[in-house]
Amino acid sequence: MIGEAVQQLAGITILYPDFFAVFMVSVALVTLATFVFPKYAKSINEVRRIPALEGLDEMTRACAEKGRPLNWGCTLEYNNQYLPAGLVVLRTISKLCGDLSVPMVLQASDAQSYLMIFDAARQGFGESLHPEIWNPNLAYFAPGDSATRTNISNIEEHNVAGNVIWGVYGGGHNPSVLLVARRAGAISMAAIKYPDSMAITLPWCEYNALGEEMVVAGAYISRDPKNTASIVGSDLVKLVIIACMIGFSIKTLAGL
C-alpha cells in the first residue's frame, strides 16, 4: 500500500512539478505548525473570535442564575470530523457547569458518540468545584428519529435554561426542538455543518457556529498551544494554496 502510494506521488510529481512545489511548501508549514508555532502560542492564541462559543459562558451562567439545567444534544457519528472539537467544548462547558452547580442533560444519537460524550462530560464535572453535580442518569442515547423526540422531552421535562445542539442538519436541528427551547425561555446555540441549515437555526438560536468554526472550536475554547498552532499552520497552508492558484492562473493567462 505504502509503495503504491509513493509510486503514484512520484508519477504526479514528474507530470506536475508545480504540484510537488506546493506539496513541499505545505509539508514545511505543517512541520512549523507542529514544532515551532507552539513556542509562540501566547502571541497567536487569539487567532479568531467565535461569538457562538463565547455565548456558551453566558448560557451556563444564565442556567445558574435561574437554577435550571443545560441541555446538550449531539447528532454526530463517532467518525465525524467535527466531533473531537465538540468533545473539547463539552468538557470545558461541563467543568463550568460543575463550578456553578448547574446540572447537565446529555443526548446522543450514535452509540459510539454517546460513550465519548458521556466520558467528556464526566471528566469535565470531575475537574470542577462540585463534581457531585454530575448525574449519569441524565445522559440519554436516542438513535435515529428518536433523537428529536428525546431532545424535546429533555427540554420540557427538565425545564432547561440552555440548549446546545452540536451536529448536522437533521434530528437535533428539527425546528420543533428549537421552538420548544424558545418557549421554555432557554438560550440556544447550534453548531452546524451545512450553510442551508442556517435558515432553520438563525430564527431560533441566539448563537450559531458554522462549518470551519466547529473545527477550530476545540483550540479556541481550550487555548491549548499545540491545537492553536495547528490552526495557524492550516491557515497558512490555505493561503499558500490560494496564492499558488492565483499565480498559476496569471501564468496561464499570460501564456508563460
Residues 109 and 234 in one domain: no
Residues 21 and 130 in one domain: no
Residues 68 and 129 in one domain: yes
Residues 82 and 14 in one domain: no
CATH number at residue 76: 3.40.50
Residues 27 and 148 in one domain: no
User: Residue 72 class from Cβ within 10 Å (0-12 exposed, 13-18 middle, 19+ buried)?
Assistant: buried
What is the tens place of the pLDDT at every residue in 60-82? 999 999 999 999 988 777 777 77
State the Cα angle at 169 between 164 and 172, rounded to 5°.
Answer: 40
Domain carrying residue 32: 2-45+223-253
What integer pLDDT is reported at residue 175 of this predicted model? 78
Residues 55 and 38 in one domain: no
Residues 59 and 164 in one domain: yes
Residues 60 and 71 in one domain: yes
Q: Report yes or no on whether pTM surpasses 0.75.
A: no
| Domains contained in the chain, number | 2
Which range, of 13-17, 155-159, 163-167, 172-176, averages the lowest pLDDT?
13-17
Distance from C-alpha of 162 to C-alpha of 3, rounded to nearest angstrom: 52
Instruction: Provide the 10 A C-beta neighbour count for residue 198.
Output: 15
The rounded mean pLDDT for the chain is: 77
Distance from C-alpha of 243 to C-alpha of 240, rounded to nearest angstrom: 5
Residues 179 and 233 in one domain: no
Residues 8 and 87 in one domain: no
Residues 233 and 140 in one domain: no
Contacts of 75 (CB under 8 A, 6+ apart): 108, 109, 110, 147, 165, 166, 167, 168, 170, 171, 172, 173
What integer pLDDT is reported at residue 43 of this predicted model? 45
Residues 97 and 186 in one domain: yes
Q: Tell whether the model's pLDDT for residue 181 goes beyond 60.
A: yes
What is the tens place of the pLDDT at every residue in 134-166? 999 999 998 877 888 888 899 999 999 999 988
